Amino acid sequence: MLPEPDADWPRARSAVLRDAIAIGAATGAYALSFGAVATATGLSVLQTCVLSLVMFTGASQYALVGVLGAGGGGLTAAATAVLLGSRNALYGLRLSSLLQLRGLHRPLAAHLVIDESTAMSLGHESDRANRLGFWATGASVYVLWNVGTLIGALGTQALPSPRAVGLDAAAPAAFLALLAPRVRGRAAVTVAVAAALVATACVPLLPVGGPVLVVAMLAIVIGAARRTSSEVR
């Protein structure tokens, strides 16, 4: 006997697709600033677009261009970007059991594992809706992020001097915007303040990008220590 069709599925599907497109549009608008920032720091339009196509993780991309724009080396910039992007590996562990993919679908899905697609793969009434949320959001954000990057990069080319209008300061400002919503609670504020103090102390001692790596490791150590402490209790 065939299973009865899910009468609520059309409604759920429409809601998931609507949210996915809205998230993609918002992220695409944010990508306009990345395209402008990246070209303002010295990358060509082609390099900027390839970065969005291949790396496709906003915080890591901002980290890379931020370090390069400040005069840091390529290895330091890449290491900073990898550290920030490592959270996607943790997302992948959670999504693996949901998506249950094999073959070529696995690397494709891995490329779409970002904050937005992970968030949309949780909290729906069924695994079917969660899977649709992942794929629809990942595809929507990927397409519109790259379109936004291209438009932002091309728009900057029309300016005689992007630095003259302050676009070189957009990368650190974007990081503050990304960080602020996550600094909630006493523990998060403590870590943020400690990281700021350590980074400031390291600035005259380390090359550009070095302080970011130091405070990233500090945050990892503090997080691991807090988790171990809570498990002991």
**pLDDT score at 141:** 93
Residues 6+ apart with CB under 8 A from 231: none
Tell me the CA end-to-end span of the chain in Å, nearest whole number.
52
Confidence bin at 132 (pLDDT 50/70/90)? very high
Nearest to 119 by CA among 107, 106, 136: 136
**pLDDT score at 3:** 47
Which one has a higher pLDDT value, 83 or 145? 145
In this model, does residue 20 exceed pLDDT 80? yes
CA pair distance 104, 97, nearest whole angstrom: 17
In this model, does residue 197 exceed pLDDT 80? yes
In this model, does residue 170 exceed pLDDT 90? no
Instruction: Supply φ then ψ for residue 159, to 5 degrees.
Output: -90, 135
Mean pLDDT computed over every residue of the chain: 81
If 0-12 CB within 10 Å is exposed, 13-18 middle and 19+ buried, where does residue 91 land? middle
**pLDDT score at 133:** 92
**pLDDT score at 4:** 46
Nearest to 37 by CA among 78, 74, 65: 65
Q: Which of 29-43, 107-121, 182-196 has the highest mean pLDDT?
A: 107-121
Tens-digit pLDDT profile for residues 36-87: 888 888 899 999 999 999 999 888 898 888 888 777 788 888 888 887 788 7
In this model, does residue 164 exceed pLDDT 70? no
